Amino acid sequence: MSDTFSDVTNLATRLEELRTEHRDLDMAIDQLAETPPEDELMIRRLKKRKLLLKDRITLIERMLEPDEPA
């Protein structure tokens, strides 16, 4: 049981870290888009990273949600 609690705690911590990084990337993308000259390559890379983070966030959220009875 202790291992399960530890796993859930670790997942919850990781989830919060990913959410923070996702939010930070969102702000960085907005700032890059506003300042000329726009660095399209950097913006594309940041957006790709942001999508990857969103996928990981969704996966961890599903892992933390209790199973619903069928």
> Tokens 């890059």 appear where?
32
**CB-based contacts of 47, cutoff 8 Å, min separation 6:** 29
Question: Does the structure show a pLDDT above 90 at 68?
Answer: no
Asked if the model's pLDDT at residue 17 lies above 80, the reply is yes
pLDDT digits (tens, 9 = 90+) for 19-55: 999 999 999 999 888 887 778 888 999 999 999 999 9
- Report how far residue 15's alpha carbon sits from residue 69's, in angstroms, rounded to the nearest whole number: 25
